[in-house]
Structure 1
Amino acid sequence: MEAARSEKVSLAHHKIYTEILIDASPDVVWSVLTDTGSYGDWAAFLVDIKGEIRDGTQITTVFQVDPAKEKLTTIDHRITVVDGETFFWAEKGPGGIRDNHHFRVEPAAEGKTRFIQSDEIMGGITWLMGGRLAKMYEDGYQAFNRGLKAEAERRARAK
């Protein structure tokens, strides 16, 4: 199961929601999600996180917004973490855009996991580029989710 949608709340406010069902336990999915050193092996769009996924720490995220181009976008974030369940940041980034980006791991039936990646972008130049950014983020988050699914299911089978 996979779902994705974006919603234009206003001219300068867009919401993005993606989810995927993963045939692995929440513990396995969380371990892959927080194993930032392995992102280079499986992650798309969000291709690297430098730093530890721990409450209150600062991380540096590396995005490849357009897979057809080599250009990478690097942004520093202070994160909030509920261990084993979620991590997120809510800060202003390039162009003055406020980004409320969430990663959530939820138990699902039969030992599976629902992984949800959502975001809200608002303010700054969102009024100008919000629709285009929301679509790029939705596509990128889906690619990331598929990579996470493949890696978590691979690790679950290897156990």
Structure 2
Amino acid sequence: MNINSKYTLHNVESTQTRRNGRTTNAADPSAGSRRLLWISAILTAMLAGFCKSIHTELKIRATPAEVWSVLMDNKKYPEWNPYHVRVEGELKEGNTIVVEVHKPNGNRIVLEPEVLRIRPERELTWGGGIPGLFTGEHVFEIVPCEEGVVLIHREKFSGIFVPFAELDSIEEGYAQMNQALKERVED
């Protein structure tokens, strides 16, 4: 029957549209592929620009076990930690914890990250957020050295809201926390 061929012909003709003075055919797979490539390229470029990291280090005259003990005793954070003033919940892989942050600029925030990795006397990592919008992976690393240990305190942020994250204040807060941890362990 010719009904199907008329319908098909009519359907193809109706997909032709006029854009920017050119006639295009929406049924042309190459037009859609090019559009998808452009959108992907733009999104990739945008998201790549929204990845930032903070990295701080401090030498501490102590053993990895001594530093680890203070770092894992989150109930005592209010006694010494000027940045993470409250960390509630068990520091165990897979657990969600509550972290109250007091930034040096006066801003405060409460986060609920997941504990991602625990490697005793070496690494504590938590992270979370909303993928694409704002995520962070916060890492404390303890690296043995001749004088004791190096505490590496870092975080990687990604998402379109990273430019609004007050990274300078966060980095200053990490440095303050590192110094307070050093004083706590060395005393």
Q: TM-score if structure 2 supplies the norm length?
A: 0.68
Counterpart residue number, 2:128 = 91
Q: CA deviation at 1:100?
A: 1.3
Quote the offset at 1:27 in angstroms: 0.4
CA contact (8 A) 2:136 2:157 kept: yes
Percent identical residues:
25
CA distance in 2, matches of 1:60, 1:31: 19
2:139 is aligned with 1:115: no
Indicate the residue corresponding to 2:74 in structure 1. 36
Distance, in Å, in 2 between the alignment partners of 1:62 and 1:120 is 19
Deviations along 1:10-36, one digit per CA (max 9) or x if unpaired, are 531111100100011110000000111
**RMSD over aligned Cα atoms:** 2.0
Structure whose residues are more often strand by fraction: 1
CA apart distance, 1:44: 1.4
Aligned amino acid, residue 135 of structure 1: D
Larger Rg: 2
Cα displacement (A) at 1:66: 3.5
**Which runs of structure 1 show a deviation greater than 6 angstroms over 4 or more consecutive aligned residues?**
none
Aligned equivalent of 1:65, options 98, 103, 115: 103
Aligned counterpart, 1:14 = 52
Among 62, 66, 78, the residue aligned to 2:114: 78
Counterpart in 1 of 2:176?
143
Kept in 1, the 8 Å contact 2:113–2:129? The answer is no
Q: Which residue of 2 aligns with 1:103?
A: 140
CA distance in 1, matches of 2:86, 2:149: 23
Secondary structure of 1:58's partner?
Answer: coil
Q: How many residues align?
A: 139
Letter in 1 for 2:61: D
2:164 matched to which residue of 1?
129
Letter in 2 for 1:120: K
Unpaired stretches in structure 1, ≥5 consecutive residues: 1-9, 155-159
C-alpha distance in structure 2 between counterparts of 1:53 and 1:89, whole Å:
9
In the alignment, is the contact (CA less than 8 A) between 1:56 and 1:81 conserved in 2? no
Offset at residue 125 of structure 1 (A): 1.1
SS in 2 for 1:149: helix
* AA aligned opposite 1:142: A
TM-score normalised by length of structure 1: 0.79
| Structure 2, unpaired ranges of 5+ | 1-47
Distance 1:136 1:65 in 2: 6
Q: Distance in 1 between matches of 2:60 and 2:121?
A: 15
| DSSP-derived class of the 1:55 partner | coil
